[in-house]
Structure formats: C-alpha cells, structure tokens
Amino acid sequence: MKGEPTNIDERIAEAQPQLVRFVRRRAQGRLLRYETVEDLAQAITARALSGSAGFEGDDPVRFWAWLYKVALNHLDDRRAYWMALKRYAGSTARLALADSGDGVGEPAGNESGPATRAERREMLVVVARALAGLAERDRQLLELASQGASDAEIGVELGMAGESAGRAKRRALERLRAQWRRNGAR
C-alpha cells in the first residue's frame, strides 16, 4: 500500500500513539504508581526495536499482534520488578530507619487504623522507588540484610570478606537513605 512504512523501525515509530493508548489501558493501577505511561511506552518501543529481528513479514495484523505481545511481556516484567522490590521494602525500611536518627520506628500497637495503613503503603512506595535508584549490588546487600543475614553470611553469598560486606552494607544503607530523602520521605 502507498504510504505504508517500509521497514520495521518505521512501523514501530508510527505505532507509538497506539502503543501509548494500549499501555494506558493495560497498566492502570499499581504499575502507574511507579512509572509513567510515556516511559513505559518508550521502553516498549526500545524493546521492540532491539527485538525487531523476531518479526518477519508485511502483514499488519501479525505486526500488531507481535508488538502487543512485546508490550505485554514488558509490562509483566515491570510489574514483577516492582513487586520484587516491594517484597522486602518493609524490612528494608526498618533497617534503613533503625540508625538514621529520624525518630521513626514501629507503631506502638498491633492494630492499625486506615491512616496508619495508608501511611505504611506510602512509605512502601517511597522505599520501592528508593531501592530502584540503587545499584543491583546495593539492592542485593540490603535484601540479604533485611532477611537477617549476618555480615559473614552476606560476604559468603556475594563473594567478599565478612568485614568488607559489613562496610558495603553500611554504604548501601547510606545510599538508600539518600535516595529515600530524594524520593519524598518525611
């Protein structure tokens, strides 16, 4: 057809507006708490461009099916990423706040009301964002520390001396606290 893009890169670029609408519909809710629709669509476009060798042919129906599959896979990967960060966010938050001098600790009672639950949810979002801003090694150190691993155990797990693991953990905690302050912790 006349006016149809001739190569896959052009087709993907022209599909950006439809991709944004698709992401807006599919990523409603939790995922959009962490990332914007535009960022997700741009990442999907980059992923499609890097994997464009996986698509062959000129059929528009097959192209859209392939592009939507790339988009769904990316959205699933991002959800899994954020849920993995949140999994240890609470214990990591307690670990980060323990020696920070912020005066924040565990609530006095076991029962909590709606305001406390909402505040905890907000804190978990801030912690997840702060964790996302750290290097992979720092996240590994903090995850192991939040699970109660000793410096020696962390060292064995990550292939370093126990003393080095302790210093690395303290530096990772400081970087987490700095990220936390940048991401809106009170």
175 and 148 in a common domain: yes
Tell whether 2 is covered by a domain.
Answer: no
* Residue 107 confidence (pLDDT): 43
pTM, two decimal places: 0.49
User: pLDDT category, 186, cuts 50, 70, 90?
Assistant: very low
Tell me if residue 110 falls in helix, strand or coil: coil
Q: Read off the pLDDT of residues 7-32 as tens digits, 9 standing for 90 and up.
A: 788 888 888 888 888 888 888 777 77
Tell me if residue 148 falls in helix, strand or coil: coil
Residue located via tokens 């060798």? 53
* Residue 108 confidence (pLDDT): 42
Domain with 121 in it = 89-182
Pick the last residue of a domain from 20, 50, 81. 81
97 and 176 in a common domain: yes
65 and 48 in a common domain: yes
- Mean pLDDT across 77-82: 82
93 and 74 in a common domain: no
93 and 77 in a common domain: no
65 and 19 in a common domain: yes
- Cα separations (Å) of 30 from 49, 76, 113, 132, 158? 26, 12, 22, 15, 32
Q: Tell me the chain's radius of gyration from C-alpha atoms.
A: 21
Backbone angles phi, psi at 101, to 5 degrees: 80, 10
Q: Read off the pLDDT of residues 133-168 as tens digits, 9 standing for 90 and up.
A: 888 888 888 888 887 888 888 888 888 888 888 898
Q: Read off the pLDDT of residues 82-125 as tens digits, 9 standing for 90 and up.
A: 777 666 666 666 666 665 555 444 444 445 556 666 777 777 77
The alpha carbon of residue 32 and the mean position of all alpha carbons in its chain are separated, in whole angstroms, by: 11
Max Cα distance, the chain (Å)? 70
User: pLDDT category, 57, cuts 50, 70, 90?
Assistant: confident
- Cα separations (Å) of 129 from 30, 100, 111, 119? 13, 18, 27, 15
94 and 77 in a common domain: no
Instruction: Name residues whose C-beta falls within 8 Å of residue 176's C-beta, 6 or more positions apart in sequence.
Output: 92, 96, 130, 131, 134, 138, 142
Instruction: Name residues whose C-beta falls within 8 Å of residue 47's C-beta, 6 or more positions apart in sequence.
Output: 70, 73, 74
CATH code at position 42: 1.10.1740
Tell me how far apart the alpha carbons of residues 117 and 121 are, in angstroms, rounded to a whole number: 6
Q: What angle do CA 133, 135, 138 make, to 5 degrees?
A: 110
103 and 71 in a common domain: no
